Structure 1
Amino acid sequence: MKQTFLVKHAVGGRMFIDSNKQELKYTFAPQGEGWLFMVDVPWSEAIEELLARKNELNVFVFQEFDDRPTLKTWYYVKDGPVEYSADQSRLTIVADSRIEYYPHLYST
């Protein structure tokens, strides 16, 4: 299985993080009623802009399989905390809700 991790600005569509374009370590798991994402990523202008728009973020995880269609999961950050630890070079994002979908079911 191939997995892609993306963090985008919900309003303008700007891509802040794309695991296809930069090698990075990330984890995510359910936490309480939401999901906790931890991303090891160096400080950059993109991270600075991401933090300035932390209430307008969407996180996506795409799972591509050899034997079945791609599953896309869209996580909404809303009011979840978004923080960066310079000491650990780690971005932490908490998403409030999610939607899972198979894109092939919505093509026309």
Structure 2
Amino acid sequence: MHEKLRIHHAVGSRVFFDSDREGVGFDVRQDGDTWQFTVQSPRTPACEQVLEFKDELNVFIFREENGQSAEKVWFYAGHGDVTYDDALQQLRIVTHGRITYNPADF
């Protein structure tokens, strides 16, 4: 199964960041009722957009099997808990809610 991280503007759904397009890895871990994303990336223009609009983000994980969309997980990150660590070259996002669904169901 392939997973892709995409970060969108909550207003208008413009894509700010796509892990496949940017060619970077990411990690997500649940911590109580939050999910913590760590993206290993140099400080690119895409990272700058995420930081600029940190109060207006939707974060998605797309899971695909055999090239077909299998599941979409939508995380809410509207509290601005977004940082960049220059020393580690990591973009960090904490989200506070999520919805999981299969696009084929709609």
Paired residue secondary structure (1:54):
coil
Matched to 2:91, the amino acid is L
Contact 2:9 2:58 (8 Å CA) reproduced? yes
Distance 1:25 1:49 in 2: 18
Q: Who is 2:30 aligned against?
A: 30
- 1:17-96 correspondence runs (5 A): 17-66=17-66, 70-79=70-79, 81-96=81-96
Unaligned runs of 5+ in 1: none
Over residues 31-61 of structure 1, what are the superposed CA-to-partner deviations in whole Å (9 max), with x where a residue is unaligned? 1211000001111222222111101001110
> Cα RMSD over matched residues?
1.6
Distance 1:43 1:100 in 2: 29
- 1:88-107 correspondence runs (5 A): 88-106=88-106
How many residues end up aligned between the 2 structures?
Answer: 105
Distance 2:78 2:26 in 1: 20
Distance 1:52 1:69 in 2: 30
Q: Rg: which structure is higher?
A: 1
Which deviates further from its counterpart, 73-82 or 12-21? 12-21
Unaligned runs of 5+ in 2: none
Distance 1:100 1:25 in 2: 21
